[in-house]
Amino acid sequence: MISLLSLPSEDASPSTSETVPVLISGAGPTGLLACILLAKMGIQTRLIERDMTVSSLSKAISLHPRTLEILRLTSPDLAARFEKECWVSHKGRMFFGGRLTAEIPWCPATESQFHYTWGVPQTTTVKLLTEEYERTGMGSIERGWELVDTKVVEGELVKELDGSTRTNPSWVETTIRRAVKGTNKREGESVVLGTVDMAGEDEGKEYEIKVVKSDFLIGADGGRSTIRHVLDIPFPGRTRDSNIILFDGHIETDLPLDEMASINGSNLHTVGMFPLCGNRVRFLLSDGTLTEEEFAARKTKTPTKEYFEKLLEETVAPHKIRVLSYNWLTYYRANERRATEFVHKQRIILAGDAAHCHSPMGGQGLNTGLQDSYNLAWKIGMVLKGTAPLSLVDSYNEERIPIADEIIALSAKSLTMLISENYFVFQARKAALSLFSYVLRYLPLGAGAPNFAMLNLRYYGNSLNKEHGAQKYASTAPASIGKRAPDDVLYPLTADATSTRLYHLMDIPGAFQILVFTANRMVQEQDLEATLAGNIGHYQGSWIARWPGTRADTSFVVNTKKASPQFIVHVISYHGSRVIINTSSNMSKAPGYGRVYLDSEEQDLHKRYGIASEGGIVVVRPDTHISYRVASIDKAAWADVDEYFGSILCGS
pLDDT digits (tens, 9 = 90+) for 557-606: 333 344 457 899 999 999 888 877 777 777 778 889 999 999 999 999 99
Q: Residue 643 is inside which H or E element, if any?
A: helix 635-648
> What whole-number distance in Å separates Cα of residue 626 and Cα of residue 402?
17
SS3 555: coil
**Residue 281 near residue 305, CB atoms below 8 Å:** no
Residue 580: the pLDDT is 79
Mean pLDDT (whole number) for 633-639? 97
Residue 71: the pLDDT is 97
> What whole-number distance in Å separates Cα of residue 281 and Cα of residue 598?
46
Residue 280: the pLDDT is 92
Alpha-carbon distances, residue 385 vs 4, 139, 218, 329, 460 (angstroms): 12, 19, 18, 47, 26
Q: What percent of the chain has pLDDT over 90?
A: 54
DSSP state letters, 353-418? GGTEE--STTS-HHHHHHHHHHHHHHHHHHHHTTSS-GGGGHHHHHHHHHHHHHHHHHHHHHHHHH
What would the pLDDT profile of 315-358 be if each residue is shown by its tens digit?
999 999 999 999 889 888 788 899 999 999 999 999 999 999 98
Categorize the per-residue pLDDT at 75 as very low, low, confident or very high, splitting at 50, 70 and 90.
Answer: very high
**Residue 505 near residue 570, CB atoms below 8 Å:** yes
In DSSP terms, 532 is beta-bridged to none
**Residue 214 near residue 43, CB atoms below 8 Å:** no
**Residue 223 near residue 57, CB atoms below 8 Å:** no
Domain with CATH 3.50.50.60 in the chain: 16-61+121-234+338-414
Number of H helices, E strands in the chain: 16, 30
- pLDDT exceeds 70 at position 408: yes
Omega into 450 within 30° of 0, i.e. cis? no
- Nearest residue to 245 (alpha-carbon basis) of 272, 279, 267, 216: 272
**Residue 410 near residue 589, CB atoms below 8 Å:** no
Beta strand spans in 240-354 (E): 242-253, 260-264, 270-277, 280-289, 321-332, 335-338, 343-344, 348-350
> What whole-number distance in Å separates Cα of residue 635 and Cα of residue 535?
7
* CATH architecture label of 241-332: 2-Layer Sandwich (3.30)
Domain with CATH 3.30.9.10 in the chain: 241-332
**Residue 208 near residue 180, CB atoms below 8 Å:** yes
489-648 has which fold? Glutaredoxin (3.40.30)
- In this structure, what are the phi and psi dihedrals at residue 532, rounded to the nearest 5 degrees? -65, -45
- Nearest residue to 351 (alpha-carbon basis) of 229, 220, 221, 227: 220
Which superfamily, per CATH, for 16-61+121-234+338-414? FAD/NAD(P)-binding domain (3.50.50.60)
- In this structure, what are the phi and psi dihedrals at residue 500, rounded to the nearest 5 degrees? -145, 180
